Structure 1
Amino acid sequence: MQAKIRPPSGDRSSGHAAVDLISALRDHTGFSARERKVADYVQSHLSEISDMTIAALAKACGVSTPTVVRFCRTLGCDGFREFKLRLAQNLAVSLQYISPPPSSEQVASDTAIDRVLGALYATANVMRRQVDPQDLQRAVTEIASCRQLLTAGIGGGSSMVAGEAANRFFRLGIPSFALEDSYLLQMRAATLGPDDVLLCVSASGEADELVSAAEIAGGYGATTIAIAPKASRLAKISKIAILVDLPEDPDIYKPTASRYANLIIVDAIAMNVAQTRSATTSENLRRIRASLTAFHGRTGPQPLGD
């Protein structure tokens, strides 16, 4: 998908600012011939632009300063200062993908599992040292006695963990629902009350959708539980915060291992909740297994629900 470049007219109503300046620089659509000279130079000197004046850039490209201004406006920036700021922001998050570290070299298939497992073990060990058992027990106590549990996560990893949490707890006899739609989340949060629990999972703890839902649910008396980094907005606003601040692997091609660590936390809570509600849990699991056996006829050992 190409980044959108607004027309060089300078009229903001006639187009859109480029969300990704790096992609916009590579796509010459919308640039005049002189502006393309500026785009080519900037692409070849990305890390140097922040220290250059508009006059210096114009001289280096062999164009006039008005051409540089028009170039900036074509990209949706008010001027050269805004262009430099937005380019620096883009570079801050893009540099590791433009020049991947040596550790991102091709991994042989027979060692790929070992590399993934190594990251999993390392991340899980960091999580183990960070989680406060008292916070975990408080979460167990609230979930074990709640009327219903709403789990929420935004984004691939967090939403997957939230979905798995709901999948764990409904088996234990607790009505559980998972949401990742931001609007539905706000709506459902508003229906929660003092006997309900909202469990939010967030790798950053800064997702606006989750912070807002926690504020809403907490305002109506529901217990809010967060699995999030220390000092994050979500952790601060939640009644119970299970604090985890997990490092990300510098290898950009390796899937994040933090989701495994969060799943371990969910499983630990689920196991304790199951033991707390042992009578209800046992009967519920028995009924689930009986219904599945009647459905597919298999009676041997197997994961419940597989």
Structure 2
Amino acid sequence: MQKQTVDIISALKQMDGTFATREQRVADYVNANMERISEMTIANLAEAVGVSSPTVIRFCRSLGCEGFRDFKLKLAQNLAVSLQYLGPEAAVEAAKGASAIDRILGALYATANVMRQQIDPASLEAAQARLAETRTLLVLGLGGGSTMVANEAANRFFRLGIPAVAVSDSYLMQMRAATLGPEDTLLIISNSGEARELICAAEIASGYGAKVIVISKPKTTLETLADYAITANLPEDPDIHKPTASRYAHLVLIDAIALAVAQSRADLANENLRRIRASLTAYHGQIGAQPLGD
């Protein structure tokens, strides 16, 4: 069975120097003219390299492609997401010491300000009101940033007397969503708003009457499935080495919602927070001002 190659660019690098002589000439030309290949026919490429069309086909199959058409499609897909990592603009001024902190803070402030300008206060207040009365809370996130924010959301809300759990496993998402009912809430954090696992979980939860809150981009599939949509189109820094700043904006939203929910159910929240502080003091013996179990 022929291997299937997903990353043509990596395959070209790994196999460089190992192709048959004529195929290597094709590889050299492709490496030097990647952005032109999508406009070429197999005859064009063969003529440009000075080889036969069958040689081009053998080259494509050596890379795990079914033929020239399959090769062009996969190369185009790779280039669509890879050019920013391959061009000279990927090399930026080195960040050292305090300058690295300044650059991260700059991106954080810029992204948070964009979020602040785009968030609809009415949507935020409606979601806060729903969470203040929910019986249980299921929080979902996929990927590094959204999973971290989902875990932090569950960490915030359980303190306020709301049974909350965060899930990032795709199967558990569907299973947990199926246990929700009309008194429960599903909170989804998603940068793309299009992850299939999250969409399926939202549909399942809605089917059983649970309310769905989505924190994501506008005009996405998840927004259409949400009972409460909190959306902002957050920019990403062109510096590919800088961690994404959107997760900071999502954390700000979680903290803002948690603050409003805590104030709306202050009696229960205060008692829970007091118990948590008392249990931690008994555990480690420290009584000074400290973050609450962070």
TM-based fold match above 0.5:
yes
In the alignment, the residues of structure 2 paired with residue 73 and residue 277 of structure 1 have an alpha-carbon distance, to the nearest angstrom, of 64
Are 2:230 and 1:242 aligned? yes
**In the alignment, which of 141, 145, 154 is matched to residue 166 of structure 1?**
154
Structure 2: gaps (5+ residues): none
Which stretch has the larger CA shift, 144-153 or 44-53?
Answer: 44-53
Kept in 1, the 8 Å contact 2:194–2:220? The answer is yes
- Shift of the alpha carbon at 1:71? 1.8
Kept in 1, the 8 Å contact 2:90–2:240? The answer is no
- Shift of the alpha carbon at 1:219? 0.6
What's the TM-score, normalizing by structure 1? 0.92
Q: In the alignment, which residue of structure 2 is the partner of 1:292?
A: 280
- Aligned residues between the structures: 293
Q: In the alignment, which residue of structure 2 is the partner of 1:255?
A: 243
In the alignment, the residues of structure 2 paired with residue 133 and residue 237 of structure 1 have an alpha-carbon distance, to the nearest angstrom, of 20
Are 2:67 and 1:79 aligned? yes
**In the alignment, which of 114, 120, 123 is matched to residue 132 of structure 1?**
120
Q: In the alignment, which residue of structure 2 is the partner of 1:58?
A: 46
In the alignment, the residues of structure 2 paired with residue 174 and residue 162 of structure 1 have an alpha-carbon distance, to the nearest angstrom, of 15
Are 2:13 and 1:26 aligned? yes
Are 2:165 and 1:155 aligned? no
Q: In the alignment, which residue of structure 2 is the partner of 1:92?
A: 80
Q: In the alignment, which residue of structure 1 is the partner of 2:219?
A: 231
Q: Identity of counterpart residues, as a percentage?
A: 62
User: Alignment partner of 1:101: what SS?
Assistant: helix
Q: In the alignment, which residue of structure 2 is the partner of 1:6?
A: none
**In the alignment, which of 104, 109, 131 is matched to residue 97 of structure 2?**
109
- Shift of the alpha carbon at 1:15? 3.1
In the alignment, the residues of structure 2 paired with residue 122 and residue 211 of structure 1 have an alpha-carbon distance, to the nearest angstrom, of 29
- Shift of the alpha carbon at 1:63? 1.7
Which stretch has the larger CA shift, 244-253 or 39-48?
Answer: 39-48
- Shift of the alpha carbon at 1:79? 2.4
Q: In the alignment, which residue of structure 1 is the partner of 2:27?
A: 39
- Shift of the alpha carbon at 1:282? 0.2
In the alignment, the residues of structure 1 paired with residue 82 and residue 28 of structure 2 have an alpha-carbon distance, to the nearest angstrom, of 18
User: Alignment partner of 2:193: what SS?
Assistant: coil
2:5 counterpart letter in structure 1: A
1:26 counterpart letter in structure 2: K
In the alignment, the residues of structure 2 paired with residue 183 and residue 32 of structure 1 have an alpha-carbon distance, to the nearest angstrom, of 45
In the alignment, the residues of structure 1 paired with residue 220 and residue 3 of structure 2 have an alpha-carbon distance, to the nearest angstrom, of 32
Q: RMSD of the alignment, in Å? A: 1.4
Kept in 1, the 8 Å contact 2:140–2:167? The answer is yes
Q: Which runs of 4+ in 1 moved over 4 A?
A: none
What's the TM-score, normalizing by structure 2? 0.96
